[in-house]
Amino acid sequence: MSIVALGIIIAIKVVVILAIILGIGAYLTLVERKVAAHIQRRPGPMVVGWHGLLQPLADGIKLLTKEDILPSSANQVLYNLAIIMALVPASLVFAVVPFGPEIHVFGYDVKPILTDVNIGIIMAFAFGSLAVYGVALSGWASNSKYALIGALRKAGIIISYEVVITFAALGPIMLAKSLSTYDIVMAQIHQKVWYIFLQPISFVVFVFALLAETGRVPFDIQEAEAELVTGFTVEYGGMKFGLFPLVEWYVEVLSLSSILTVLYLGGWSPINIPFVGFVDPLFFLGPWSGFIWFIIKVTILFLLVLWLHWTLPRYRIDQITTIAWKVMLPLALFNILITAFIAPLLRG
Minimum gap (Å) between residue 117 Cβ and other proteins: 5
Minimum gap (Å) between residue 327 Cβ and other proteins: 17
The residue from 29, 34, 98, 162 that contacts other proteins (CB under 8 A) is 162
Q: Does 293 bind other proteins (CB under 8 A)?
A: no
Q: Does 80 bind other proteins (CB under 8 A)?
A: no
Q: Give 198's Cβ-side CA count (13 Å radius).
A: 33
Dihedral sign (CA 242, 253, 281, 112): positive
The whole-angstrom separation of Cα 185 and Cα 288 is: 16
Q: Does 195 bind other proteins (CB under 8 A)?
A: no
Task: Give the ranges where the chain is alpha helix by DSSP (H).
Answer: 3-39, 55-65, 76-92, 120-141, 145-176, 181-191, 195-198, 200-213, 225-228, 238-245, 252-264, 289-309, 317-322, 329-342
Pairing of strands 271-273, 277-279: antiparallel
The whole-angstrom separation of Cα 347 and Cα 337 is: 19
- Of 16-24, 132-140, 234-242, 289-297, which part binds other proteins (CB under 8 A)? 132-140
Conformation bin of residue 170: beta by default, left when phi > 0, alpha when psi is -120 to 50: alpha
Alpha-carbon distances, residue 93 vs 54, 189, 344 (angstroms) = 28, 23, 30
Q: Does 343 bind other proteins (CB under 8 A)?
A: no
Q: Does 152 bind other proteins (CB under 8 A)?
A: yes
- Of 63-71, 106-114, 116-124, 242-250, which part binds other proteins (CB under 8 A)? 116-124
The whole-angstrom separation of Cα 213 and Cα 247 is: 12
Nearest to other proteins of 80, 166 (CB atom) = 166
25 to 64: interface string for other proteins, x by CB under 8 A: ----------------------------------------
The residue from 22, 26, 103, 126 that contacts other proteins (CB under 8 A) is 126
Q: Does 151 bind other proteins (CB under 8 A)?
A: yes
The residue from 318, 326, 327, 330 that contacts other proteins (CB under 8 A) is 318
Answer whether 257's CB lies under 8 Å from 251's CB. no
Minimum gap (Å) between residue 256 Cβ and other proteins: 15
**What size, in residues, is the chain?**
348
The whole-angstrom separation of Cα 42 and Cα 56 is: 19
The residue from 78, 110, 296, 312 that contacts other proteins (CB under 8 A) is 78
Q: Does 140 bind other proteins (CB under 8 A)?
A: yes
Q: Give me the amino acid identity at 15.
A: V
- Of 10-18, 98-106, 112-120, 287-295, which part binds other proteins (CB under 8 A)? 112-120
Minimum gap (Å) between residue 129 Cβ and other proteins: 5
Q: Does 145 bind other proteins (CB under 8 A)?
A: no
Q: What are the residues binding other proteins (CB under 8 A)?
A: 75, 78, 81, 117-119, 122-123, 125-127, 129-130, 132-133, 136-137, 139-140, 143, 148, 151-152, 155-156, 158-159, 162, 166, 179, 316, 318
